[in-house]
Structure 1
Amino acid sequence: MPLTVASLTFLGSYAALVLAPRPGTAWEDLWIALLLACWALFAVDYAVRWRLSGQGPSFVHTHLLDTLVLILPLLRPLRIVRIYETLQHRRGLPRLPLYSRVIAYSGLSTLLMGFTGALAVYQQERGAPGSNMRNFGDAVWWACSTLSTVGYGDIVPVTTGGRVIASAMMAGGLALLGAVTGSFSSWLLQVFSREED
């Protein structure tokens, strides 16, 4: 739970830096200090778990989500689903079925990717010459159309950083859509095979 609170603090601090910039003030120093403190906490947590695992360098490959979360701490709230499952298990309640877990992870991932992607793109595009992303609402609209793979094209990033973020979001949107579609298809096949039996 302390690390979950730290991840939400990280996300809130980043959002405050992007949405309410106050350059050269004590507020900006506070948000940056909170970001760095949370990131340091995540790095210590990762290093301790790496050391305790005894796996050496293979820890990076066997714990890809943890490695990704260290590189992109904005995704750390994804671990909320695991915490929920742990609490259920301790209370003697059954775990979520596999399909429910996939949909829960995908839904939470989509919300996080949409919000953080909108923040990151807005930070890159705000005030850039030729940018038609004038406010955070435009950035959220762009993130929704990108993640849903619709891509209207009414708002597009024009900076190099914005386009890199857009590419990552397109790949993430396709992966999440594939995970949900595959999980739902697998569930339907199981239902049909039970009915035939």
Structure 2
Amino acid sequence: MRGMDGQSAQARWEQVTQRPLLALAVGFAVAYAVPIVDKTAGHSLTTVCTAVEWVVWGAFAGDYLVRLAMSRQRKQFVRTHWLDLCAVLLPLLQPLRLLRMVSTLMLVGRRARMASQIQLTTYVVGAVVGLLMFGSLAVLSVERDSPNGNIRTLGDALWWSFTTMTTVGYGDHAPTTGLGRMVAVGLMLSGIALLGVVTANIATWFLARFEKDDVEERRQTEAIEALTAEVRALRAEVAALREPSAPLREPSAKT
């Protein structure tokens, strides 16, 4: 009973905190984007945005610790949620804004996947939008001030992110810095992974549809065979009724 209560408490916690954490993630995205998009942002605004980023990261870290405390088997929880732990510890290893963005996206993705009411299509769409935003802002922040860079505006960054995620790669815009190329590699791998998820989802839908049609076809075939057997039985009964009955023999007279 104690284990069941712990599991129920953890499930209730995840259900209650899902929407607030997603709202915090949106606030993090805004705080991350403002200093990059607005070149005229002052020191005070940048400081506020950085504080918001750390507060959101702290909320996700606290959520991980609470779920760990509620877990009955904590060692197994750490083993099965190692990606969550890496996302929590990542900003502490190197306090860069880019790493805080990566860790927050990872944590949002992990929490979204645990929510049963979020369907695969919604998750894929959210992942695409999040990766496009992350890739665009990240590459713009590191490439805009590069002497040889050709990604200077948010429009250029969005176009580059879209062509990179779809693995088209026109080559009209490309990162020139080491960190920008690292972002490009991550975006390409993410785009390939999402494309694989979408392809697998479509293939699964078609297979399920074909299987459903096959089951329906087999059901109709069995019904037709059963109806055919009944018709044959009725024909046999009718034929038996139409046959002339044998004449009755008269009893022999007693002598």
Q: TM-score, normalised by structure 1?
A: 0.82
Distance 2:214 2:29 in 1: 48
**What is the distance in 2 between the residues matched to 1:69 and 1:129?**
32
Per the TM alignment, residue 60 of structure 1 is displaced from its structure 2 partner at its CA by 3.8
Give yes or no for the alignment of 1:5 onto 2:23: yes
Greater relative contact order (CA < 8 Å, ≥ 6 in sequence):
1
Residue 196 of structure 1: how far off its partner (Å): 2.2
1:113 to 125, 128, 131: 131
- Residue 169 of structure 1: how far off its partner (Å): 0.7
Matched residue of 2:146: which SS? coil
Note the alpha carbon deviations across 1:97-156, whole angstroms, 9 max, x for none: xxxx22221111011001111101111111102111011110000000111121111111
Contact 2:84 2:106 (C-alpha < 8 Å) held by counterparts: no
**1:73 corresponds to which residue?**
104
Matched, 1:133 2:151: yes
* In 2: Cα distance, 1:108 partner to 1:68 partner: 22
Unmatched tracts of structure 2, length 5 or more: 1-18, 91-102, 216-255
Residue 10 of structure 1: how far off its partner (Å): 0.8
172, 182, 190: which one aligns with 1:164:
182
1:17 counterpart residue number: 35
Contact residue 18 and residue 123 of structure 1 kept, 8 A: yes
1:174 maps to: 192
State yes or no: 1:51 paired with 2:69: yes
Unaligned runs of 5+ in 1: 86-95
Question: Which one-letter code corresponds to 1:107 in the other structure?
Answer: V
Other structure's SS at 2:172 match: coil
Q: Measure the CA separation in 2 of the matches of 1:51 and 1:102.
A: 29
Does 2:187 match 1:186? Answer: no
Q: Deviations over 1:43-96 (max 9, x none)?
A: 1111111121133343244236644764521455545686682xxxxxxxxxx7
Distance 1:20 1:57, change over 3 A: farther
Larger Rg: 2
Matches within 5 A, 1:94-105: 101-105=119-123
* CA RMSD of superposed structures (Å): 2.3
Q: Is 1:153 aligned with 2:165?
A: no
Count of residue correspondences: 183
User: Structure 2: how far apart are the matches of 1:22 and 1:33?
Assistant: 19
CA-to-aligned-CA distance 1:5-27 (integer Å, 9 cap, x gap): 21111111000121124566211
SS in structure 1 at match of 2:74: coil
Partner of 1:123: 141
